[in-house]
Amino acid sequence: MTRIAVRMEIHYNVAGCFRSPREDIELAKYAVESGFEGVWIGDHFLPWLDNRPYTHHILPWFGALMAEVPDVPVGTAVTCPTVRYHPPVLAQAIATLDNMFPGRFELGVGTGEALNEAHFYDGEWPDWGTLAGMLIETLDVMETLWESEEYVGYDGDYYDYDPIKLYTPPKEDIPTHWAAWGPQSAKCAGKYAGNLTTVSSPDHIENLLVPKFEQGLEDAGRSLADAEVMNQMSAHFGDPDELAGELRAAGEHTPDDTELDNPDPRDIQRAADAELETISDEELIDANNVTDDPAEFVEYVEELEAAGVTRVLVVSKVGDPRDTIDAFADHVIPEF
């Protein structure tokens, strides 16, 4: 891995499933005022876990956010643009946001999971190869519409459109980040998006994802020096025993990937609750970066930076997220 040294950016992910839409706006404002350099949100129709109380629609939320929180990049972490959305309609919505707030919107995308998309898919939920093919075509459709000043049609394996155009165009290029956990996705991230986003350990990022990502970049004639590698980092500042108890009481545990094809968050919650019974508080604390010592946050961000990560998205699931934001503002962000 070769990369020109870049400064680590620390952004905040409100998640979009723990608080009301208005509360997430206020939290985003607090994070930016505290020194975080960007705001992100997940895009879910249903939450991963039934105990999570919210999933708001991101497009109206972004309009309010960008009007109230100026001058920082914002983005999806992540959205699946292939099933719930018609790609040209989503392209129009994003173009409208960029037309109003140029150069701020960034599109994080993933191939999708049954939880959010199967309810809107006609037929048996497809395999990853099909989903990846759909995402590749979707990005092509959207980028074509963003770049064209004339009517353009599309004839693909998954999407077919008569000639159309966007009359409200974006004013800037829209950066795209492909979510990856495995080698095939990481290579696609480089080849078709140019940026990588993940939720992985430093070792996994350095040893598997970044090398495959760099292969994809090379296939597309791109350079790692010009790419972003983003990683979402759970972080919780406070009393570890209390926060571990909150995680357990809230059923906050993401089950193994055996649940990726499960469309029902009630079933996933039951699987999470069953797994939580086998997990110690120490394991919960370690998995969710729970600490009362902000130096541990600094150490983990340094490990991510050494693995090739250029941007960290901080998210808190329990506790008062402002305590974690304050810990980062006072002790972590100044180190980077």
H/E element holding 154? strand 152-155
Under 8 Å between Cβ of 106 and 75: yes
H/E element holding 140? helix 128-147
Nearest to 11 by CA among 82, 71, 73, 103: 73
CA pair distance 280, 278, nearest whole angstrom: 7
Q: Is the pLDDT of residue 5 over 70?
A: no
CA pair distance 336, 332, nearest whole angstrom: 7
Report the pLDDT value the prediction gives residue 259, as an integer from 0 to 100: 82
Q: Is the pLDDT of residue 335 over 70?
A: yes
CA pair distance 167, 146, nearest whole angstrom: 10
Strands 152-155 and 160-164: antiparallel
Q: Is the pLDDT of residue 260 over 90?
A: no
Give the mean model confidence (pLDDT) for residues 135-148. 98
Report the pLDDT value the prediction gives residue 3, as an integer from 0 to 100: 54
Residue 66 — pLDDT band, cuts 50, 70, 90?
very high
Report the pLDDT value the prediction gives residue 1, as an integer from 0 to 100: 52
pLDDT per residue as tens digits for the range 269-321: 999 999 999 999 999 999 999 999 999 999 999 999 999 999 999 999 999 99
CA pair distance 315, 12, nearest whole angstrom: 6
Residue 255 — pLDDT band, cuts 50, 70, 90?
confident
Report the pLDDT value the prediction gives residue 41, as an integer from 0 to 100: 98
Give the mean model confidence (pLDDT) for residues 209-222. 98
Q: Is 29 left (phi over 0), alpha (psi -120 to 50) or beta?
A: alpha
Please spell the DSSP secondary structure of 48-108, one letter per residue: SSTT------HHHHHHHHHHHS-SS-EEES-B--SSSS-HHHHHHHHHHHHHHSTT-EEEE
CA pair distance 108, 59, nearest whole angstrom: 13
pLDDT per residue as tens digits for the range 78-121: 999 999 999 999 999 999 999 999 999 999 999 999 999 999 99
CA pair distance 191, 325, nearest whole angstrom: 34
Q: Is the pLDDT of residue 129 over 70?
A: yes
Report the pLDDT value the prediction gives residue 4, as an integer from 0 to 100: 52
Report the pLDDT value the prediction gives residue 7, as an integer from 0 to 100: 84
Under 8 Å between Cβ of 134 and 204: no
Please spell the DSSP secondary structure of 295-329, one letter per residue: HHHHHHHHHHHHHT--EEEEE--SS-HHHHHHHII
Strands 176-179 and 105-109: parallel
Q: Is the pLDDT of residue 2 over 80?
A: no
The percent of residues above 90 in pLDDT, for the chain, comes to 95
pLDDT per residue as tens digits for the range 151-174: 999 999 999 999 999 999 999 999
Alpha helices in 164-320 (DSSP H): 183-188, 202-204, 210-219, 240-249, 265-276, 281-287, 294-307
Report the pLDDT value the prediction gives residue 128, as an integer from 0 to 100: 95
The sign of the CA dihedral 143, 66, 70, 336 is negative
Give the mean model confidence (pLDDT) for residues 63-69. 97
Mean pLDDT (the chain) is 96
Nearest to 321 by CA among 107, 17, 103: 17
pLDDT per residue as tens digits for the range 15-55: 999 999 999 999 999 999 999 999 999 999 999 999 999 99
Report the pLDDT value the prediction gives residue 58, as an integer from 0 to 100: 97
H/E element holding 143? helix 128-147
pTM of the model: 0.95
